[in-house]
């Protein structure tokens, strides 16, 4: 795009004879000061641009920080600007965005792509602590500008930044202030090797970093707008514990993606020796099991297939066991966590996708169990088993749920009939003891209901279930027993009543 053509049309945007610019993609390179002044003037006068993408060039002549500041001041006058993308900006460049971002009430989406350190990250200065601290301070200031926007119209935020900076970022203000922020994605621009563990020693800087991460998770506990959180940088076992605590309380998050550190015990708080990797996992499963108001549908661990995490888990179950015979103890301890995870899936009614490293994909039986519960949730298990409404669920609703599994899911049929055999009871038998206490199977356990209003569906619902079952073509995907036995039990249960 010719820069002179662009400047002319930015300025003359109200002329019907000229093209009105709405989306603008611009490589920043200043040829001369006069041309840059006219570009800034064009932005300040334009009334049609709604989306701007700026790429930072570092070939001569280079746009200076003062040039950027003036440009962002002019962009603040764009009345309809709703989306902005900054590519290859340094942390120092990002500080210059204050005139545009501070308390901006029009921008809804921001994408920071391939953010860079201000100084050259070569071998000589990669250990420069002063440089690291300055970059962290600049990034913190930038997050403050974003937090001031979050209370207005900011809905989507995506940042690609070196992992050193993303690790030490304080997101608490951003999450506290957000009133409409729906998705937050923090990605690392550094190359992450799945075979090289990330190790960090516990120390003052690391503990300070953890406190910032914990503050962000604490803010998310009460956040009622964020729906997607994607943190693609390594988090420690201590960080994962804070994620678990957050999940005990959050009720709006629907998608969570994260990456576990391959040496999860490396950053344990020395003041709490009892805290270790397996306990963080137990807290995580407990949160997903007990938070009945959770909206979480998808949980993904980026490095779920990393075998080093399996080894780290076994090592943390009991570090004192090192002999070959103790490997059985390690395996048994890991299996206990797997069983706790399966129990969580039995209770959790919202998860539809779940990727976590302790669910070994090479174990077909374990995979089938996991997939069965996820499939039940996808097809609406919460409509009949939500504890908040289970006492008012009609028999017709139960049969409707069964019908969703009749064509391709024998495990689903067997699950529902096993957990609530009264689905196939005749209405006459139900009416005879309508005032008695009833025992209902919920999630595989007996649950006594002493007061329950009887609301039943029509006999046509049960007829529909029997007809669908008899005409179904169900794959023989075993779960707990032979599929033919399950088919016969479910079919007999549907046919031995007078409807």
Strands of 150-245, DSSP E: 156-161, 183-188, 228-235
On whether both 337 and 403 belong to a single domain, the answer is no
pLDDT tens digits, the chain, 499 residues: what are they? 578 888 888 888 765 556 678 999 998 877 678 889 999 999 999 989 999 999 987 666 678 899 999 999 999 999 999 999 999 999 999 999 999 999 999 999 999 999 988 755 444 444 455 557 889 999 999 999 999 998 899 999 999 999 888 877 889 999 998 899 999 999 988 644 333 334 444 444 778 888 999 999 999 999 999 999 999 988 988 999 999 999 999 999 999 999 988 765 544 444 443 447 889 999 999 999 999 999 999 999 998 877 777 777 776 665 534 444 444 444 666 788 889 999 999 999 999 999 998 886 677 888 889 999 999 999 999 999 998 888 888 888 888 888 888 778 888 888 888 888 877 765 555 544 444 434 444 444 434 333 333 333 445 555 555 555 555 444 434 444 455 555 555 555 555 443 3
Report how far Cα 496 is from the mean position of its chain's Cα atoms. 46
Query: Sign of dihedral through CA atoms 210, 211, 212, 214?
Result: positive
Is residue 206, in this structure, part of any structural domain at all? no
Is residue 199, in this structure, part of any structural domain at all? no
Question: What whole-number distance in Å separates Cα of residue 64 and Cα of residue 17?
Answer: 35
Paired residues of 128 in beta bridges: none
- What pLDDT does residue 324 have? 42
Can you state the percent helix, strand and coil of the chain, rounding each to 5?
A: 45, 15, 40
Question: What whole-number distance in Å separates Cα of residue 411 and Cα of residue 286?
Answer: 25
Question: What whole-number distance in Å separates Cα of residue 470 and Cα of residue 487?
Answer: 10
Question: What whole-number distance in Å separates Cα of residue 225 and Cα of residue 227?
Answer: 6
Q: Which two tokens stand for residue 49?
A: 């641009």
Paired residues of 56 in beta bridges: 28
- What pLDDT does residue 490 have? 57
Question: What whole-number distance in Å separates Cα of residue 346 and Cα of residue 334?
Answer: 19
Domain ends where: 350, 378, 406?
Answer: 378
On whether both 372 and 399 belong to a single domain, the answer is no
- What pLDDT does residue 483 have? 55
On whether both 26 and 174 belong to a single domain, the answer is yes
Element (H, E) at 23: strand 23-28
Is residue 434, in this structure, part of any structural domain at all? yes
On whether both 400 and 361 belong to a single domain, the answer is no
On whether both 374 and 420 belong to a single domain, the answer is no
Q: Which two tokens stand for residue 130?
A: 């002063």
Q: Determine the structural domain holding residue 427 and report its residue range.
A: 385-495
Domain ends where: 353, 378, 403?
Answer: 378
4 burial (CB, 10 Å; 0-12 / 13-18 / 19+) is exposed
On whether both 354 and 422 belong to a single domain, the answer is no
Domain total of the chain? 2
Is residue 202, in this structure, part of any structural domain at all? no
- What pLDDT does residue 425 have? 65
129 burial (CB, 10 Å; 0-12 / 13-18 / 19+) is exposed
CA distances from 395 to 343, 347, 402, 410, 442 (A): 26, 21, 11, 20, 15
On whether both 341 and 450 belong to a single domain, the answer is no
On whether both 393 and 372 belong to a single domain, the answer is no
DSSP line for 117-150: -SS--STTTTT-HHHHHHHHHHHHHHHHHHHHHH
Domain ends where: 327, 354, 378?
Answer: 378
Kindly calculate the radius of gyration of the chain based on its CA atoms and give it in whole angstroms.
29
On whether both 352 and 400 belong to a single domain, the answer is no
CATH of the domain at 355: 3.80.10.10
Q: Is 298 helix (H, G, I), strand (E, B) or coil?
A: strand
């Amino acid at each position: 795009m010719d820069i002179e053509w662009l400047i002319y049309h930015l300025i003359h945007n109200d002329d019907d004879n000229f093209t009105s610019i709405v989306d603008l993609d611009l490589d920043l390179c200043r040829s001369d000061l006069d041309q840059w002044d006219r570009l800034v003037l064009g932005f300040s006068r334009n009334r049609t641009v709604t989306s701007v993408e700026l790429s930072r060039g570092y070939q001569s002549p280079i746009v200076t920080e003062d040039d950027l500041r003036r440009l962002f001041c002019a962009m603040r006058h764009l009345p309809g600007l709703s989306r902005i993308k900054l590519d290859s900006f340094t942390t120092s460049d990002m500080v210059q965005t204050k005139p545009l971002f501070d308390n901006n009430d029009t921008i809804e989406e921001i994408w920071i792509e391939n953010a860079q350190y201000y100084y050259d990250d070569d071998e000589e200065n990669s250990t420069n602590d002063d440089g690291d601290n300055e970059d962290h301070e600049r990034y913190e200031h930038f997050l403050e500008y974003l937090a001031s926007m979050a209370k207005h119209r900011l809905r989507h935020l995506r940042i690609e930044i070196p992992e050193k900076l993303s690790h030490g970022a304080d997101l608490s203000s951003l999450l506290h202030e957000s009133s409409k922020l729906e998705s937050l994605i923090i990605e690392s621009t550094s190359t992450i090797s799945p075979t090289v563990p990330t190790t960090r020693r516990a120390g003052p800087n690391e503990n300070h970093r953890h406190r910032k991460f914990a503050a962000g998770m604490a803010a998310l506990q009460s956040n009622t707008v964020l729906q997607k959180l994607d943190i693609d940088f390594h988090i420690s076992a201590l960080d994962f514990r804070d994620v678990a605590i957050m999940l005990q309380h959050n009720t709006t998050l629907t998608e969570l993606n994260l990456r576990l550190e391959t040496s999860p015990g490396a950053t344990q708080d020395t003041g709490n020796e009892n805290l270790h990797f397996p306990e963080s996992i137990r807290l995580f499963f407990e949160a997903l099991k007990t938070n009945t108001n959770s909206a979480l549908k998808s949980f993904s661990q980026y490095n779920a297939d990393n075998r080093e995490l399996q080894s780290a888990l076994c090592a943390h179950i009991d570090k004192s066991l090192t002999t070959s015979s103790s490997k059985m103890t390690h395996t048994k301890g890991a299996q206990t966590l797997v069983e706790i995870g399966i129990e969580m899936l039995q209770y959790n009614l919202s998860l539809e996708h779940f990727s976590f490293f302790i669910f070994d994909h090479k174990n077909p039986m374990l995979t089938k169990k996991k997939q069965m519960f996820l499939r039940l949730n996808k097809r609406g298990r919460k409509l009949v088993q939500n504890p908040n409404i289970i006492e008012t669920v009609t028999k017709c609703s139960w049969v409707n749920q069964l019908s969703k599994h009749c064509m391709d899911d024998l495990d689903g049929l067997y699950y529902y009939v096993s957990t609530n055999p009264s689905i196939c009871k005749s209405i006459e038998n139900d009416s005879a003891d309508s005032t008695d206490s009833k025992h209902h199977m919920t999630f595989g356990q007996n649950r006594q209901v002493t007061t329950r209003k009887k609301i039943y569906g029509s006999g046509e619902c049960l007829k529909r279930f029997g007809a669908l079952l008899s005409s179904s073509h169900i794959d023989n995907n075993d779960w707990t027993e032979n599929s033919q036995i399950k088919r016969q039990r479910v079919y007999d249960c549907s046919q031995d009543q007078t409807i």
